[in-house]
Amino acid sequence: YRNGYFSPEDEKHIQEDIKEKKPDFVFVGITSPKKEYIIQSFMDNGINAVFMGVGGSFDVLSGHIKRAPLWMQNAHLEWLFRVANEPKRLFK
């Protein structure tokens, strides 16, 4: 486990740590597009695992962040609910 707040210098150490542990799965819970760049970098550097970009899923599953009402989920408007509840996300 590692949080998503690290410097570019730390990325090399993180990659070495992941390579050493040889996981089958790596869940990357950081924002887009950063998670896609990180996953590609890991793959380019020989980390052989199944990568899953999970974004804020762990925050929702843990109850830290409330999920959109069912009608918004069904209407594919969950993104709008998140923007309304977390406007700071727009400026990251």
Task: Give the CA distances from residue 50 to residues 21, 25, 68, in Å, rounded to whole numbers and listed in that order.
Answer: 14, 5, 29
Task: Look at residue 92 and tell me whether its pLDDT is greater than 70.
Answer: no
Predicted local distance difference test score (pLDDT) of residue 1: 66
The average confidence (pLDDT) of the chain is 89
3-state SS class at 7: coil
The mean pLDDT of 49-78, rounded to a whole number, is: 92
Task: Give the CA distances from residue 78 to residues 6, 12, 88, in Å, rounded to whole numbers and listed in that order.
Answer: 28, 34, 16
Which residue did the predictor score with more confidence, 89 or 34?
A: 34
